[in-house]
Amino acid sequence: MIGGLVMRFTEEAGAIMLLFCSTLRQMFMPPYEVKGTFKQMYEIGVRSVPVVLITAIFTGMVLALQTYTGFKRFGAEAMVGTVVALSMTREMGPVLTGLIVTGRAGAAMAAELGTMRVTEQIDALETLATNPIKYLIVPRFASGLIMMPALTVVADFIGILGGYIITVWLFGVSSTLYWKRTWDFLETEDIYNGLIKAGFFGGSIALISCYKGFTTTGGAEGVGKATTGAVVLSFMTVLISNYFLASWLYK
């Protein structure tokens, strides 16, 4: 039973790596899928902004709330700004955005490509002399790679703003102190390492979701399974790779 599980896992990982290679090759081979990529950037990026905004602001707020009330016990409430800024840029920003993009865009990708597979639209692309990897996967992969870091910047900034709202407006800490504590200990490295993670998540989510969509079999039920599979596998990948990326990037 465990043997079978390992076999299935390695088989799938191998298939995704192969898809990754062909996607890269198609991505750098002209003609480029500019129009399709912009469309996907809008779908994955722009349309995720509202959810990211709401999630990020509340995350920043709750971080400030918990840190302030907790740190007060040993008189360190002045450090709230630092904690919020570091948590948001290093962890919460990229990871939460990754989970949101998985739920919104990853699921949609798997469902759309899965439906195209079962209704033979992907076969039809091939008969019309169009490489489906180039036409369908490249734009999604590239958009994931570009838009995840972009969304993460938004999340970082809004999260810190949420922390500000609670610390300054609710707990009456001085505004200068909050900003000072934020900027004093925040290094550019914190931000761009977070963005590297975000880019990795974006690429993985797109690739996994497209893979699941492409390999769909068995009608409507199959599409449902592919979508669930894409979301679960993407979540796992984001959360597990997050640990290893963090241990590698933040030495």
Which residue's CB is nearer to another protein, number 42 or number 58? 42
Question: Least distance (Å) from another protein to the CB of residue 30?
Answer: 11
Which residue's CB is nearer to another protein, number 29 or number 165? 29
Which residue's CB is nearer to another protein, number 84 or number 118? 118
Q: Round to whole Å and give the CA distance between 161 and 68.
A: 15
Question: Least distance (Å) from another protein to the CB of residue 227?
Answer: 17
Under the binding rule (CB under 8 A), the answer on residue 21 touching another protein is no
Which residue's CB is nearer to another protein, number 46 or number 236? 46
Question: Least distance (Å) from another protein to the CB of residue 129?
Answer: 5
* Residue ranges in 136-195 that form contacts with another protein under rule CB under 8 A: none
Give the DSSP letter string of the chain. -HHHHHHHHHHHHHHHHHHHHHHHHHHTSSSP-HHHHHHHHHHHTGGGHHHHHHHHHHHHHHHHHHHHHHHGGGT-GGGHHHHHHHHIIIIIHHHHHHHHHIIIIIHHHHHHHHHHHHTTHHHHHHHTT--HIIIIIHHHHHHHHHHHHHHHHHHHHHHHHHHHIIIIIIT---HHHHHHHHHHH--HHHHHHHHHHHHHHHHHHHHHHHHHHHT--SHHHHHHHHHHHHHHHHHHHHHHHHHHHHHHH--
* Residue ranges in 25-44 that form contacts with another protein under rule CB under 8 A: 31
Which residue's CB is nearer to another protein, number 112 or number 156? 112
Which residue's CB is nearer to another protein, number 120 or number 189? 120
Which residue's CB is nearer to another protein, number 70 or number 219? 219
Q: Is the peptide bond before 139 cis (omega within 30 degrees of 0)?
A: no
Question: Least distance (Å) from another protein to the CB of residue 61?
Answer: 39
* Dihedral, 18, 41, 242, 96 alpha carbons, nearest 10: -150
Question: Least distance (Å) from another protein to the CB of residue 222?
Answer: 15
Sign for the pseudo-dihedral over CA of 199, 201, 202, 203: positive
* Residue ranges in 88-147 that form contacts with another protein under rule CB under 8 A: 116, 119-121, 123-131, 135
Question: Least distance (Å) from another protein to the CB of residue 108?
Answer: 12
Question: Least distance (Å) from another protein to the CB of residue 196?
Answer: 33
Q: How many residues bind another protein (CB under 8 A)?
A: 15
- Residues of the shown chain interacting with another protein in the complex, contacts defined by CB under 8 A: 31, 116, 119-121, 123-131, 135
